[in-house]
Amino acid sequence: MEEQLKELKKEALEEIATVSDFNQLEAARIKYLGRKGKLTAFLRTLGNLPASERPRLGRLANQIKEEIEKALQEASLKTQKIASELKGKKDLIDVTQPGLREPLGHLHLVTQAIFEIERIFSQLGFYRVRYPEVETDWYAFESLNMPPNHPARDEWETFFITPQIVLTPHTSSGQVREMEKGKLPIKMINLSKCYRRQSDVSHLPMFHQFEGLYIDKKVSITQLKGVFDYFAHEFFGPERKIRLRPFHFRFTEPSFEVDIDCSLCKGRGCRFCKAGWVELGGAGMVHPEVLRAGGINPEEYSGFAFGWGVERVYMMRSHLKLPDIRLIYKNDLRFLKQF
């Protein structure tokens, strides 16, 4: 019996000496001193021993128990020290580790659209220009065949700074500015901000337009249609179709509204498009009066022009059924991250 106890003590002290963390320490405590522990089991059998043996072995067992408890306590201090040393190492800066990267954002969806539109037209030889966001009445209206008080102005007259100066209401104001450079042929794409007085679920007081202007000798409607087809195929997909619908603008003659087949119903007609087509924007052959305003002889040169909204064409492509177009500029990351 006594031998067994001594053996148990040796085993326990050896095991506790190798303990290096709290889990091992707790396991050792349970193994020897727990309710079903080895020493506890021995103490329970004391009652079965002959009365002569009992006091001596009882004392020995208690003595061993104290020694084991003391060893556990020392081991506990040791593991605490090890743990705090490990933590200290973690707090050190390892200069060889790769650094933490700042989260990277991406370009705003309208900027993405502008870059793509610019790329597509540059493949056709159009060069990008930008004109002022504040414009004179001459470039914004009069040079475009809209004399003062003409009712055609009503749609655009907005945000006048003085009676002669207005926030640019449409990119068409860049047409005569480009002609005045005196270089022909002209193949510009003017991508700029425009301002209108509307603000509701389908209108923004500030938005972007892209204005194409092609002027050369013998420019025809066929070329205009070809450019629109190319743009539609590149931007919306090779299966898409466009059509020209006669319309009226003061600065083009003839004028058209350009439609693209509805992507939702594939041109069959649905609640969104009604008859299978969705309007992209206006276009037409440049009016002779506009050419004259830009110092170009309409007998010698002709051209076509178109001005469409960037936000609008982008929304048509991505099938964004936005409940409110103003969401685009609310700068809500939950929305912007999706593009």
Of the pair 124, 278, the CB lying nearest Zn ion is at 278
Contacts of 21 (CB under 8 A, 6+ apart): 79, 82, 83
Three-state secondary-structure class, residue 208:
strand
CB atoms within 10 A of CB 62: 12
Of the pair 107, 275, the CB lying nearest Zn ion is at 275
Edge-to-edge strand ranges of the sheet holding 160-162: 134-136, 165-167, 160-162
What single-letter DSSP state applies at residue 200? B
Of the pair 46, 315, the CB lying nearest Zn ion is at 315
- Please provide residue 151's backbone torsions phi and psi, each rounded to the nearest 5 degrees: -60, -20
Of the pair 273, 286, the CB lying nearest Zn ion is at 273
Of the pair 59, 268, the CB lying nearest Zn ion is at 268
Q: How far apart are CA 67 and CA 78, in angstroms?
A: 17
Least distance between Zn ion and beta carbon 157 (Å): 33
CB 290 within 8 A of CB 144: yes
Least distance between Zn ion and beta carbon 310 (Å): 22
Residue 283 bridge partners (DSSP): 256, 306
Least distance between Zn ion and beta carbon 274 (Å): 8
Of the pair 1, 264, the CB lying nearest Zn ion is at 264
Q: How far apart are CA 76 and CA 84, in angstroms?
A: 12
Least distance between Zn ion and beta carbon 276 (Å): 6
Least distance between Zn ion and beta carbon 269 (Å): 6
Q: Please identify the residue of the shown chain whose CB is closest to the bound Zn ion.
A: 262
What single-letter DSSP state applies at residue 279? E
CB 83 within 8 A of CB 287: no
Least distance between Zn ion and beta carbon 240 (Å): 13
Of the pair 194, 273, the CB lying nearest Zn ion is at 273
Q: How far apart are CA 7 and CA 122, in angstroms?
A: 91
CB 32 within 8 A of CB 39: yes
Q: Which residue has the tokens 């009066």?
A: 289
Strand pairing of 127-129 and 186-195?
A: parallel
Least distance between Zn ion and beta carbon 241 (Å): 13
Least distance between Zn ion and beta carbon 315 (Å): 14
Of the pair 264, 322, the CB lying nearest Zn ion is at 264
**Binding region for Zn ion (CB under 5 A):** 262, 264-265, 270, 273
- Please provide residue 190's backbone torsions phi and psi, each rounded to the nearest 5 degrees: -100, 110
- Please provide residue 170's backbone torsions phi and psi, each rounded to the nearest 5 degrees: -160, 155
Q: How far apart are CA 306 and CA 286, in angstroms?
A: 9
Least distance between Zn ion and beta carbon 249 (Å): 26
H or E stretch including 282? strand 277-286
Of the pair 134, 270, the CB lying nearest Zn ion is at 270
